[in-house]
Amino acid sequence: MLEKTNVKTLDKVVVRFSGDSGDGMQLAGNIFTNVSAGLGNSVSTFPDYPADMRPPQGSLSGVSAFQASVGKGVHTPGDQCDVLVAMNPAALKRGYKILKPGGVIIVDIDSFNESGLKKAQFDTEDPFKELGINAQVIEAPVTSMTKAALADSEMDVKSVLKCRNIFALGLVCWLFDRPLEGALKLLKNKFAKKPAVYEANSKVIQAGYDYGHNIHASVSTFRIETEDIRPGVYTDINGNTATAWGFILASEKAGRPLFLGSYPITPATDILHELAKRKDLGVKACQMEDEIAGVCSAIGASFAGNLAVTSTSGPGLALKSEGIGLAVMAELPLVIVDVQRGGPSTGLPTKTEQTDLMQALYGRNGESPLVVVAPVSPTDCFTMAFESSRIAIEHMTPVILLTDAFIGNGSSAWRIPETEDYPEIRVPYVPEDKKAAWRPYHRDPETLSRYWAIPGTEGLQHRLGGLEKDSETGAISTDPVNHEKMVELRQEKIARIANDIPEQEVLCDVDADTLLIGWGGTYGHIYSAAEELNATGKHVAFTQFRYINPLPKNTAEILSRYKTIIVAELNTGMFADYLQSKFPNLDIRRINKIQGQPFLAQEIVDGVNKIMEG
């Protein structure tokens, strides 16, 4: 038996599971991060799906990966990995470049045959030498060991091979000293309706763990530091699931039923799937025939008194634009979730970008103002789903919630909150003393939001529609002066929401001359870069925007304090352009990436250094 004499103790480690798109890398990675979260580790994950629908098996284009960073002070899935699991030669070829020098590679050596090497476009029979890999390599016969572990089962060969990922997971659990109890519990929940499959996987994960104990090779194993965490129940949650749960809590806090009208689209469909499971909580989730029907059904539900949501990605947001304009005109509460992906058109459906910002801000006909917010992490999707619902209801406006594929599919460790951690949502019902003289566009004098008259309430019969209305009577109006007044009222209503959102915070070296800015899901990478820059003597302050329209009311004061302002974003500079239009006297520098991949922290460090030295 191999004694663990070569043990590295690290604050955080990065492991990357990679293999064919059918090899179950996402499942293995999710179980590993769930187990780690339950042990008190912070986690951050990056599921990296192939862009092709059905890529050839064993091909470079078919590699699917799941990267996770676990430990203490984790903000990103990591620029480089400590451990690479490569289930075939293509996965090795795709992943070796991000392995740290001297790191650990686990390969299924059974797949490194002539056919596998050819599919991965290797020229020799020794891929490690050909790639010049400097690593500790475990050549594990994963396929044959999995078959041996299940030799007495009645499963067919195809079903047996589907368990290879769990053997690799068992080996990784040994490598990182993760107990199997948590993984077995997750597997039991996963295969609750397939006990034979659970039994097979429980044997295989134990076989992988035991193999780690018995290999006669000297490789590093890892001890991972844990956070000093607030007591509570922790789980690993991805952004799309967190978004769905945030809406459920908002529905409870508002006392209004939750309705989702949606059409499946990558990478937003999981929100529909999650809410469709929650009939027990009164959720109504309807898969509509197209994107337009999705938003229009939600508008109808909103008129009827529901917390109404529609979910989509960039192409669907374009199709929904006319419907969203109707919600602006009718001044109905509506939340539109846009899980951004690479574009334009079909673009890169499984990859991440921040390229829908201008569409969210301006992508409708006429003067059509609404609220735009953006969560900064998978767990923050819960908070901002709740917050977007609160703003939509309390201010009677559509709200666009801009997440992205990185945080929508990625996950973090999350403490399940208590309901008292979140405020009650104040529904702007028509006040009793105003019911006698009420008209549809009578407004709260402080917020300028109109009142919500729920159909069926005695004396509050009314109509809403897309034609301009008289500000007093609510009747259709073509009067030019009235139209201008209504345009200005709708704009001012959105502007006043700045009084009802948190002020912007600045982190890191707040007294520096340089301010590094991000928005939405780039938070972890930019924050990590800022910490690294300050550690090396390049002093920068850092702020990440979650509220985009309206901006927090102290934004101008913050920006005025810094000589150099740098905006980093996954587009060609949309938020920088937006800030420049709001504050034309600023000189804003830019760091941009449009590759369908999240930032590496080092890319931001290099970009800031280049600007500061230039």
DSSP 455: T
Is residue 609 within 8 A of residue 537, CB to CB? The reply is no
Domain end, chosen from 400, 421, 442, is at 421
Question: Is residue 596 in some structural domain?
Answer: yes
Q: Count Cβ atoms below 10 Å from residue 434 Cβ, excluding itself.
A: 11
Q: Tell me what pLDDT residue 218 has.
A: 66
Q: Are residues 298 and 180 in the same domain?
A: no
Please name the amino acid found at residue 404.
Answer: D
Residue 436 lies inside a defined structural domain of this protein:
no
Task: Write down the pLDDT at residue 3.
Answer: 45
CATH code where residue 586 lies: 3.40.50.920
Residue 9 CB coordination number (10 Å): 8
Q: At what angle do helices 291-303 and 321-330 cross, to 10 degrees?
A: 10
Bridge-partner residues for 10, per DSSP? 224
Query: Same structural domain for residues 161 and 65?
Result: yes
At 38-72, the pLDDT tens digits run 888 899 999 998 877 778 889 999 999 999 999 99
Answer whether residue 441 is part of any domain: no
Q: What is the pLDDT of residue 22?
A: 87
The range of the structural domain enclosing residue 415 comes to 236-421
Tell me whether residue 473 is in a domain: no
DSSP 465-480: -SS-B-TTT-SB---H
Report DSSP state, residue 424: P
**266 and 202, same structural domain?**
no
Boundary-marking domain end, from 396, 421, 446: 421
Q: Kindly report the CATH number assigned to the domain that includes residue 38.
A: 3.40.920.10
Q: Residue with structure tokens 């039923």?
A: 257
Structure tokens, 550: 């309206």
Q: Pick from 58, 50, 161, 62: which is nearest to 118 by CA?
A: 58
- Residue 482 pLDDT: 98
What is the number of alpha carbons within 13 Å of residue 449 lying toward its C-beta?
A: 25
Same domain, 365 and 415: yes
Whether the Cβ atoms of residue 32 and residue 230 lie closer than 8 Å to each other? no
Residue 1 covered by a domain:
no
Same domain flag for 304 and 376 = yes
In a domain, 358, yes or no: yes
Residue 318: the pLDDT is 98
Q: Say how far apart CA 531 and CA 483 lie, in whole Å.
A: 50
Number of Cβ atoms within 10 Å of the Cβ of 121: 11
pLDDT on residue 1: 35
Give me 145's structure tokens: 């060991």
Task: Give me the residues of the chain with pLDDT under 50, please.
Answer: 1-4
Give the contacts of 81 (CB within 8 A, at least 6 positions apart): 14, 15, 16, 67, 95, 98, 99, 100, 103
466, part of any domain: no
- In sequence order, the 6+-apart residues with CB closer than 8 A to the CB of 456 are none
Q: Are residues 33 and 135 in the same domain?
A: yes
Q: Residues 6 or more apart from 349 whose CB is under 8 A from it?
A: 51, 266, 267, 313, 341, 342
Asked whether residue 181 falls in the same domain as residue 241, the answer is no
Contacting residues for 86 by C-beta, under 8 A, at least 6 apart:
18, 19, 92, 95, 96, 105, 106, 107, 108
Same domain, 86 and 139: yes
Looking at the structure, tell me whether residues 213 and 267 fall in a common domain: no
For residues 417 and 554, state if they share a domain.
no
Note whether 412 and 377 are within 8 A (CB): yes
- Asked whether 45 and 66 are in contact (CB, 8 A), the reply is yes
Domain boundary, last residue among 388, 406, 421: 421
Task: Give the relative orientation of helices 180-190 and 195-214 as an angle to the nearest 10 degrees.
Answer: 160
Together in a domain, 269 and 217: no
In terms of domains, do 58 and 150 share one?
yes
Other C-beta atoms lying within 10 Å of the C-beta of residue 583: 15
Structural domain includes residue 249 = yes
Find out whether 52 and 121 touch, Cβ atoms under 8 Å: no
Number of domains in the chain: 3
